[in-house]
Amino acid sequence: MSSDLGARLKAIREQQGLSQRELAKRTGVTHATVSLIEQNKVSPSVSSLKKILGGLSLSVGDFFAPDRSPEQKIFFGKDELLEIGGGKISLRQVGEDLHGRALQMLHELHYPGADTGKQLYNHDGEEGAVIIRGYIEVTVGEQTRVLGPGDAFLFSSRSPHRLRNIGSEVCEIVSACSPPTF
């Protein structure tokens, strides 16, 4: 995630007239966590960032790409993918502006020890992915399975879910989500 994540979060929160405590109360994230993120002292998990931005009625994609272009681009070079992940999870989104799009495509790298969060999260929509290399533990509801190269998943995102790289190598995934969640 960008090193100015905290400053950007604080600016948007203040623009909406919210205190850190009000934002924390809206999202179920502690006030201390919001404060530490805004000071760039901690990097939030993907699920925590989604919760916080949800309290600001903002998607992760919109948070990292606030300027909208009038035309939707069709083709993207590998250097044009928008990084919206952070820490041990790289999430490179195809396209900066998902406004008006029904599908979100991601090229994901989950480094050893990567975890989308100890608490399972859910949201409206569907998710699917194919594992390109490495191994990833996927939990959806009460089911857990370790997937490897060529394996795939497809589920309703309303089911609480979590991804963890419990292996010693990078796990590469190509995923899609509809509607876009970040």
Q: What is the pLDDT of residues 96-115, one digit of tens each?
A: 878 778 899 999 999 999 99
Nearest to 38 by CA among 58, 21, 62: 21
Indicate the pLDDT class of residue 74, thresholds 50, 70 and 90: confident
Distances (CA, A) of 104 to 18, 73, 134, 173, 174: 29, 14, 22, 14, 11
Q: What is the mean pLDDT of residues 131-137?
A: 98
CB distance 151 to 112 below 8 Å = no
Dist. CA 18–CA 23, nearest whole Å: 6
Dist. CA 11–CA 76, nearest whole Å: 30
User: In this predicted structure, what is the pLDDT of residue 70?
Assistant: 52
Indicate the pLDDT class of residue 1, thresholds 50, 70 and 90: very low
User: What sign results for the dihedral spanned by CA atoms 99, 88, 46, 106?
Assistant: positive
Dist. CA 26–CA 24, nearest whole Å: 5
Indicate the pLDDT class of residue 68, thresholds 50, 70 and 90: low
Q: Say whether pLDDT at 92 is over 70.
A: yes
User: In this predicted structure, what is the pLDDT of residue 67?
Assistant: 56
Dist. CA 119–CA 46, nearest whole Å: 11
Token pair belonging to 33: 């966590």
| Sequence ranges of the domains in the chain | 5-58, 78-178
User: In this predicted structure, what is the pLDDT of residue 142?
Assistant: 96
Amino acid at the residue 10? K
Q: Say whether pLDDT at 69 is over 70.
A: no
Q: What is the mean pLDDT of residues 141-152?
A: 97
Pick the CATH number of 5-58 from 1.10.3720.10, 3.30.2350.10, 3.40.50.300, 1.10.260.40: 1.10.260.40
More confident residue, 69 or 182: 182
Q: Say whether pLDDT at 141 is over 90.
A: yes
Q: What is the mean pLDDT of residues 125-139?
A: 97
Looking at 60-64, 77-81, 122-126, which range is the least confident one? 60-64
More confident residue, 160 or 121: 160
Q: Tell me if 5-58 shares its fold with 78-178.
A: no
Dist. CA 39–CA 10, nearest whole Å: 9
Share of residues in the chain with pLDDT > 70 (%): 94
Concatenating the DSSP letter of every residue in 116-152 gives: S-SS-B--SSEEEEEEEES-EEEEETTEEEEE-TT-E
Fold of 78-178: Jelly Rolls (2.60.120)
